[in-house]
Amino acid sequence: MTLRRVLLVSLLIMSASAWADRPPNVVLLIGDDHGYPYFGFMGDQNVETPVMDTLARGGVTFTQGHVPVPYCRPSLRTMITGLTPVQYQLRLNEHIERRKRDDEKYATLSDVEKRMWLSVEKANGMRIFDTIPKLLKEQGYVSWQGGKWWENSYRNGYFDEGMTEGWEMGTFGTDAFFHEMMGAEGNELVRETMDPLFEFIDSHKDEPMFIWFGPMLPHTPLDAPYKYRKYYEDRDISQSSKDYYANISWWDDGVGQLMDYVESKGLLEDTLFIYLSDNGWEQDANVEYWYPEALADYDSEYLTGGYDGKGSLYDLGLRTPIMFYWKGRLEHGVNERSLVSSADLMPTILDIAGADIPEGLPGYSLRPLLDGSGEVDERAELVAYTDNRRSAESEMGVPAEGYAVRTHTHHFFWYADSDETRLYDVLLDPRGKLDLSEDRPDLVERFKQVVADWKESVGMTTRLEIHE
């Protein structure tokens, strides 16, 4: 890596005193299946995102942000722990195997119940890790979870309060179990209510707060109220685009409701908002993305996006803008160069809050890029991993061992079990249409070596199942 100072375009460097005040409230705004192109500020000419566009104009946006895996649950784990899926999975496997040996009831469970038991154990096992709420608590923070926290209970993330209360014994082995694991009442955030969050803010407005704001939007079902659908009903775009964009506008309005409430309490200038998505999505404006096999299970048509989005190793599956907005502390700027990761969130938040950053994290604090306080070792590449790939039958895909390498100039991915490779020039071909792998075998071998070095660095010797 080359040591270089990365300057933000039009960014007004904050004074040192700006960071010396009371630690800011931190609100993590988490999009769900929100593809990186589908914002007004990212150049989309169809989607309506006035609130997010305003934040982008008044904050700092890293346009080359990425997540380490193209699926929800492991991606959310990275956000909260600062670790890559491979890093925490290795430890959790050990934890779970110990529990299997010691649990007398495990052998009596049905196959379905064993799979559910495994999900519960992985969720509970998250308590062995440091999380953002856990470490911020040492700085006097109180924390709240709402929306999609996939780990059964807010307590497994060390949140003080939350909407995901945990599963009841009576749901074990039933369809209701999955709902409880996915977030339970938290999935009602924005879709049905904002009251639990507002009540938390009212109760703790005199303390520094960490808020996990993860409404399950624009994730399916694509059921936005008419007030959002009307934005798109007369546009010459596909129906699937209309439905997906309406859910995006619904999300955008939810963020606006939250910011209005924070401002009404006089807390806007004391609050840092951070945005990213858990994974990407593909929704070209003039293409219909239908999944007929799933229609029978839904009251309305279910859309999965294209094969290059969620679940894939294309940029559309892994890339997300990562945005910071802090009124009066950050002036507008755009960083289109730096390769940043969702793994950077934990050290960045801890740094800004004045907390100690644990050793051994794969990410680093982005604070020097926000306040101009120092230099950083700019990344030459980012590596992502998946254990399955999209198929015609399932968006969750079929088993596979896949890796992606993203640099400033190229995007490479490799399914190692089948030795299938793809290589794209992201400067000339950002949507990945022209495969260069046969023309550039030198780069293919170079990136395979990057993958090998990365596997060694994280202790990965075999393919792991990271997605459930």
State the residue range of the domain holding 345: 22-376
For residue 137, the model assigns a pLDDT of 97
Q: What pLDDT, on the 0 to 100 scale, is given for residue 262?
A: 98
User: Helix (H, G, I), strand (E, B), or coil: what is residue 31?
Assistant: strand
| Mean pLDDT (whole number) for 442-450 | 98
For the chain, first and last CA: distance in Å?
35
Residue 404 lies in a domain: yes
User: Do 405 and 271 fall within a single domain?
Assistant: no
Convert the pLDDT of each residue in 41-86 to its tens digit.
Answer: 999 999 999 999 999 999 999 999 999 999 999 999 999 999 998 8
Specify whether the CB–CB gap between 69 and 53 falls below 8 A: no
Question: Which 8-state DSSP code applies to residue 209?
Answer: E
**Number of domains the chain is built from:** 2
Residue 398's contacts (CB-CB under 8 Å, 6 or more residues apart) are 388, 389, 391
Is the residue at 112 inside a domain? yes
Q: Are 120 and 150 in contact (CB under 8 A)?
A: no
Q: Tell me: do 228 and 83 sit in the same domain.
A: yes
Are 294 and 352 found together in one domain? yes
pTM of the model: 0.92
Domain boundary (353, 376, 399) is at 376
Q: Is residue 9 part of a domain?
A: no
CA 2 → CA 5, 83, 298, 334, 456, distances in Å? 10, 24, 51, 21, 22
Residue where one domain finishes, among candidates 348, 376, 404: 376
CATH code, domain with 418: 3.30.1120.10
User: Cα(46)–Cα(64) distance, rounded to whole angstroms?
Assistant: 22
pLDDT value, residue 161: 97
Distance (Å, whole) CA 190 – CA 188: 6
Residue spans of beta strands (DSSP E) within 140-228: 142-147, 161-162, 209-214
Angle at Cα 50 formed by Cα 45 and Cα 56, nearest 5°? 90
Task: Report yes or no on 106 lying in a domain.
Answer: yes
Same domain as 360, residue 268: yes
294 touches 302 (CB < 8 A): yes
Q: Strand, helix or coil at 296?
A: helix
pLDDT level of residue 162 (50, 70, 90 thresholds):
very high
